[in-house]
Amino acid sequence: MNKYRIEKDEKGEISLPENAYYGIHTQRAIEKYPPVEINLNPLLIKSYAYIKKATAIINSKFNYLNKNIAQAIIKASDDLINGLLLDQIKVNTLYDYDGTFLNSNLNELITNRALEILNHRPGSYNIINPYNHTNLNYCDHSASFTALKIATIYKHKNLTKKLLSLIHVLKSKAKKNNKFTKQKSLLTCNTKSINLDKIFTYYAFIIANHIKNLKIILRNFYFVSFSPISINTKNEAQKFNTEFIKTLSQLTNLHLKKVPQPLGQIQSMYNFTYYSSSLKNLSLDLINMSSSIMHSISSSQNNLIENHLSQNNAFILPIQNYSILEMTLTIYYQVIANDLAISLSSKTNSTKLNMPILFIANNLLSSMNILENAINLFINEYLK
């Protein structure tokens, strides 16, 4: 038999599963906006958890928060950082324009897990409160921007590794095919159609330039700001911000810096749209590369050449693999579509302080994730 607990707010009472870590505000968001099959990237949740943990550490250090409560919140945040409790993220991220619902979900999740750590029942908010304790001195807007920056930095490292692997394999295949084309006098056909060494060399160079460009754009992602909303004096707020960035840098193992103009960080989506646009340009060149390879190989149908290539360990793409190659092309198309969605949403928002940050986060991190998968598929199915 299922057991339930009752939680109350200004609108009334709601029954929740007794062991659920989420609470009444998350449940109301679920009821208002039914879930769709769009899940947040785990790296983004991990980044939010790092921010919650850093906030609790500084609140405890400055005596804004009881040390026992702070330690419980820190341990609960660690659970999220380690990939636990992700099934308790229940809000519909498609409709969560600026991350308000997600923040409520995280507050309640971390609070109820912290209560459990201290051997209290979930929902005992008189002991640890989602907003008076877990959300103390926490700014939703700056946290959302900072979380996306951290997640993008982490994801960028993974994507760069894949791109470097692609460059390495392209250069290796270019050398093998160059050796074969030097023996063209042995063949009685047009070797131009199977001369892939120039294609591989050219796109290895192009992709290397994309890596440099993305790295330059990413420099701005290391500048973050955090505005504690419950601290009234400017001096104390600046101390909190400085300690917060220092602590967050240590937790994430990233060299984060204080942004020169904090308000500009909230008002501008430029860094995210610029990075997304660069991913789109990368995808366009990957499309051109795939199309060039398909055209080059499909123009040669001579079995004698195929046998010779096989015997000399030269590269050849079997005709039956075209459907898989076309599948990777559709992935690149999706990155282009994601960039369009990001560009439009960043320009049509109604107010500068109400940015579609989660919508942009979903699309940006999705583009990086599917690019990784497409490149990995391209390497394993065609180039190795």
Asked whether the beta carbons of 20 and 136 are under 8 A apart, the reply is no
Q: Which of 36-40, 64-68, 125-129, 322-326 has the lowest mean pLDDT?
A: 36-40
Interacting residues of 76 by C-beta distance below 8 A, sequence separation 6+: 109, 110, 111, 113, 114, 117
Percent of the chain that is helix, strand, coil (3-state, to 5): 70, 5, 25
pLDDT for position 187: 45
Residue 287 burial class via C-beta count within 10 angstroms: exposed 0-12, middle 13-18, buried 19 and up: middle
| Res. 188 pLDDT band, cuts 50 70 90 | very low
pLDDT for position 303: 45
Asked whether the beta carbons of 204 and 293 are under 8 A apart, the reply is no
Degrees, nearest 5: CA angle 75-76-77: 90
- pLDDT tens, position by position, 256-308: 998 776 555 555 678 899 999 999 999 999 999 888 877 766 655 444 444 54
pLDDT at 43 exceeding the cut of 80: yes
Query: Rounded to an integer, what distance in angstroms lies between the CA atom of residue 329 and that of residue 126?
Result: 55
pLDDT for position 159: 96
Helix axes 357-378 and 42-61, enclosed angle (nearest 10): 130
Residue 313 gets the label, from left (phi > 0), alpha (psi -120 to 50) or beta, of left
13 strand-pairing partners? 8
pLDDT for position 320: 47
Query: What domains appear along the chain, each with residue ranges and CATH number?
Result: 15-138 (1.10.275.10), 142-223+260-383 (1.20.200.10)
pLDDT at 125 exceeding the cut of 60: yes
- pLDDT tens, position by position, 138-167: 877 788 889 999 999 999 999 999 999 999
Asked whether the beta carbons of 343 and 277 are under 8 A apart, the reply is yes
b/e code 78-97 from CB counts within 10 Å (16+ = b)? ebbbeeebeebbbbbbebbb
Query: Rounded to an integer, what distance in angstroms lies between the CA atom of residue 142 and that of residue 266?
Result: 7
| Res. 35 pLDDT band, cuts 50 70 90 | low
pLDDT at 310 exceeding the cut of 60: no
Number of Cβ within 10 Å of residue 342's Cβ equals 26
Query: Rounded to an integer, what distance in angstroms lies between the CA atom of residue 175 and that of residue 237?
Result: 59
Q: pTM of the entire structure?
A: 0.83
pLDDT at 37 exceeding the cut of 60: no
User: Average model confidence (pLDDT) for the chain?
Assistant: 81
pLDDT for position 292: 81
Beta strands 4-9 and 12-17, pairing class: antiparallel
Asked whether the beta carbons of 200 and 223 are under 8 A apart, the reply is no
Would you state the structure tokens that stand for residue 358, as one six-digit string? 């989660």
pLDDT at 186 exceeding the cut of 70: no
Q: What is the mean pLDDT of residues 51-77?
A: 94
Degrees, nearest 5: CA angle 359-283-367: 25
pLDDT at 178 exceeding the cut of 70: no
Interacting residues of 57 by C-beta distance below 8 A, sequence separation 6+: 70, 74, 247
pLDDT for position 40: 75
b/e code 26-52 from CB counts within 10 Å (16+ = b)? bbbbbeeeeeeeeebbebbbbbbbbbb
